[in-house]
Structure 1
Amino acid sequence: MRIGVYEHKARKGLIRVSLKIVEGVIEEATITGDFFIYPEDALFELESTLRGTKASWAEVSSKLDEFFSRGVELAGSTPEDFKTALKKALVEAGVHGEA
């Protein structure tokens, strides 16, 4: 089991990502911070989308692109901020290579 935690300072807020990786797969993904995302349940949907994903940057990046292409709205942060936070959390968890 590996744990990766990272805090990313966005333009207007902080994005905290915590990942629990078991056997190369994201078992738990928690995203918190002081950012705004709409619709409100989108954050839970993103966390759910990440669970069960292979812990590689290629897989996570693809899931993020798909998620943010569905019209999710952000205020004070961007999809790139979320990508940065998740990528760095993967690195903190010891995922190397593609991360």
Structure 2
Amino acid sequence: MLNNGRSPLQLARKLSATAPRLNANANPGTLEAIKDVQRATEKEYIVAALKKARGRIRGANGAAELLHIKPTTLESKMARLNIRKQDFCQGTAEDELSG
């Protein structure tokens, strides 16, 4: 799912105890319901990595490294899941320019 495919997926923390809300039109057990749960879980895992990396995607201690995936793969997943890296950055661009 979110690793290099050669090793077991290691979660740094437990996922939330509550199950993600399923699509109201999907019957439990259908492929669509399973995909909804997978997307919600994947999004939660990426968000956790972005928070830990303070919005950084690339480089040492970036979210891609934490997830053991290529930065371009992470950016693609973020776009598909509507995750914006700006939501996880510390400070603003103005702070960086002034300091």
Q: TM-score, normalised by structure 2?
A: 0.28
Q: Which has the higher helix share?
A: 2
**Greater relative contact order (CA < 8 Å, ≥ 6 in sequence):** 1
Q: Which has the higher strand share?
A: 1
Higher alpha-carbon Rg: 2
Q: TM-score, normalised by structure 1?
A: 0.28
